[in-house]
Amino acid sequence: MKKVILVYSGGLDTSVCIPMMREEYGFDHVITVTVDVGQPAADIRQAEEKARALGTEHYTVDAKEEFVRDYIFPAIRANGDYMGYPISTSIARPLIGLKAVEVAKKVGGDAFCHGCTGKGNDQFRIEFVMRALCPEMAIVAPMREKNLTRSEEIEYAKVKGVPISQTVAKIWSIDENLWGRSIEGGRLEEPDFVPPEEIFLWTKGIDAAPDTPRRLTIDFEEGVPVALDGERMNGLALIQALNTIAGENGVGRIDIMEDRMLGLKVRENYECPAAVTLLTAHRALEALVLTRPELDLKAIIDRKWSELAYQGLWFDPLKEDLEAFIAATQKRVSGTVLLDLFKGQAKVVGRRSPWALYSEDLATFDSKTFDQREALGMVKNHGFQSRMYLQLKAKLG
Ligand code: ARG
């Protein structure tokens, strides 16, 4: 009996995989695994219903808490960002792969199957985890192997009696988890097509957002958020609450051209209200407590971390090395940030921390603690080499 473990979202691609596994790949037994990383509950129910209708052995794994603790929190500490948006799909993929591996270890299987196409990034991320943790199992990717178009898939689904909710008219391709919602496809593929309001579900447009700012405080401990408006809550509840509050004020809409791993530029729209708010607040707190050279180096480290995460190299040794540095810096990233959420903006309006590297007494114009006369020596020597260069240039050409 040949068994395949299918990473199953309930969408068109992965649903089409079910009859394909049986009829074209020769698996007698299809096991579907749906991992809950905060996508709409209705999507998960739908996946379960379709799995039942198509007669698979189905597992739904609630991984939301784990996603927050082991994936989103590290992304906050590393200011996880790729080309100007908080990375979200990329940090969920390794966890989805991991949960598929866990099911495989429990119930057994000969191969994994996923619905990634050959164009995208997800094939790299998911397969890396599967190969790293379960090298003995084969991996099949029918969408990639058969090079099917969407219309061909829909046709195949109809012939095989696969229930499809997507019609050809429903053109947006959406990926959603707790940390963000990304929307692409359809006319959004024209880079100058202005995104219609209908693609956004988590955020209000500028016009519809309230006319007065929503003042908010966020408390951090060692680089992770622990309280909202002074009320302590777990990470999951905090992110969910903040997605609502910041979304209401239109925070977190991002429209970019994204360079994908295979070299394609893809136009992507994001809405990620909690992520934008928390990263803005986290950076503001770091600016208060870390030294200037630490901030300089951390910007480089964060960028490297984000690249590795984007590429799905979740167990790379460099990632562990970078995380060691990040962990050392985050010990002091505790304190409170005040923000105003207003018409699409999350604006920092205050910050405090017991670790603040800031002395009001030194910085104020009204203090004698800093003897200004002592600055003269430094000012005189400032740019010494540059001045010398200028003289030499005048003389030697
Ligand atoms: N920017 C995404 C990535 O990290 C794209 C994810 C897929 N998005 C989608 N709307 N289907 O690769």
Find out whether 310 and 88 touch, Cβ atoms under 8 Å.
no
Note the pLDDT of residue 164.
Answer: 81
For ligand 1, pick from 126, 201, 268 the residue to mutate: most ligand atoms within 8 Å of CB: 268
Torsions phi, psi for 29 (to 5 deg): -130, 120
Instruction: Say if residue 152 is in the same domain as residue 202.
Output: no
Q: 87 C-alpha vs ligand 1 centroid, how far in Å?
A: 9
CA distances from 34 to 2, 15, 45 (A): 20, 12, 10
Q: What is the DSSP string of 223-276?
A: TEEEEETTEE--HHHHHHHHHHHHHHTTTTEEEEEEE-TTS-EEEEEEE-HHHH
Strand positions, DSSP E, 178-213: 180-184
Under DSSP, is residue 187 helix (H, G, I), strand (E, B) or coil?
helix
Domain enclosing residue 383, as ranges: 367-396
Instruction: Say if residue 166 is in the same domain as residue 182.
Output: no
Find out whether 2 and 26 touch, Cβ atoms under 8 Å.
yes
Half-sphere exposure (Cβ direction) of 291: Cα atoms closer than 13 Å: 4
Instruction: Say if residue 39 is in the same domain as residue 156.
Output: yes
Establish if 361 belongs to a structural domain: no
Which residue of the set 9, 13, 332, 351 is catalytic? 13
Which of 171, 186, 213 marks a domain boundary? 171
Establish if 360 belongs to a structural domain: no
Establish if 357 belongs to a structural domain: no
Establish if 106 belongs to a structural domain: yes
Dihedral, 253, 256, 261, 263 alpha carbons, nearest 10: 170
How far is 52 from 34, CA to CA, in rounded Å?
A: 13
Query: Measured from the CA of 90, which atom of ligand 1 is nearest?
Result: 4
Note the pLDDT of residue 167.
Answer: 53
Helices 273-289, 235-248: crossing angle, 10 deg rounding = 110
Instruction: Say if residue 123 is in the same domain as residue 156.
Output: yes
Note the pLDDT of residue 360.
Answer: 83
Instruction: Say if residue 386 is in the same domain as residue 347.
Output: no
Find out whether 271 and 180 touch, Cβ atoms under 8 Å.
yes
How far is 219 from 234, CA to CA, in rounded Å?
A: 12
Note the pLDDT of residue 149.
Answer: 83
Which of 171, 204, 234 marks a domain boundary? 171
Half-sphere exposure (Cβ direction) of 258: Cα atoms closer than 13 Å: 26
For ligand 1, pick from 83, 89, 173, 256 the residue to mutate: most ligand atoms within 8 Å of CB: 89
Pairing, β 214-221 against β 180-184 = unpaired
Residue 303 is among the residues annotated as catalytic for this protein: no
Ligand 1: residue whose CA is nearest its atom 12? 121
How many helices (H) and strands (E) in the chain? Answer: 15, 16
Residue 54 makes CB contacts below 8 A (sequence gap 6+) with: 15, 18, 19, 30, 162
Average pLDDT of adjacent 10-residue blocks, the chain of 397 residues: 96 94 96 98 96 97 98 98 98 98 98 94 98 97 90 91 70 94 96 98 98 98 98 98 98 98 97 99 98 98 98 97 98 98 98 94 81 93 96 96
Residue 306 is among the residues annotated as catalytic for this protein: no
Note the pLDDT of residue 170.
Answer: 66
| Total number of domains constituting the chain | 3
Note the pLDDT of residue 370.
Answer: 84
Q: 253 C-alpha vs ligand 1 centroid, how far in Å?
A: 15
Query: Measured from the CA of 183, which atom of ligand 1 is nearest?
Result: 10
Note the pLDDT of residue 364.
Answer: 82
Note the pLDDT of residue 148.
Answer: 84
Q: 394 C-alpha vs ligand 1 centroid, how far in Å?
A: 55
Find out whether 27 and 4 touch, Cβ atoms under 8 Å.
yes
Find out whether 40 and 13 touch, Cβ atoms under 8 Å.
no
Instruction: Say if residue 109 is in the same domain as residue 234.
Output: no
Query: Measured from the CA of 85, which atom of ligand 1 is nearest?
Result: 1
Query: Closest Cα partner for 89 from 181, 188, 184, 186?
Result: 181
Which residue of the set 77, 93, 181, 267 is catalytic? 93
Instruction: Say if residue 84 is in the same domain as residue 209.
Output: no
Instruction: Say if residue 249 is in the same domain as residue 146.
Output: no
How far is 181 from 199, CA to CA, in rounded Å?
A: 10
Which residue of the set 15, 22, 36, 122 is catalytic? 122
Query: Closest Cα partner for 319 from 135, 100, 95, 80?
Result: 80
Instruction: Say if residue 371 is in the same domain as residue 248.
Output: no
Note the pLDDT of residue 397.
Answer: 87
Ligand 1, CB cutoff 6 Å, lining residues:
89-90, 121, 173-175, 182-184, 258, 268
Note the pLDDT of residue 166.
Answer: 54
Establish if 358 belongs to a structural domain: no
Instruction: Say if residue 154 is in the same domain as residue 211.
Output: no
Which of 137, 171, 205 marks a domain boundary? 171
Note the pLDDT of residue 251.
Answer: 98
Residue 334 is among the residues annotated as catalytic for this protein: no
Query: Measured from the CA of 310, which atom of ligand 1 is nearest?
Result: 4
Dihedral, 81, 83, 88, 90 alpha carbons, nearest 10: -100
Establish if 84 belongs to a structural domain: yes
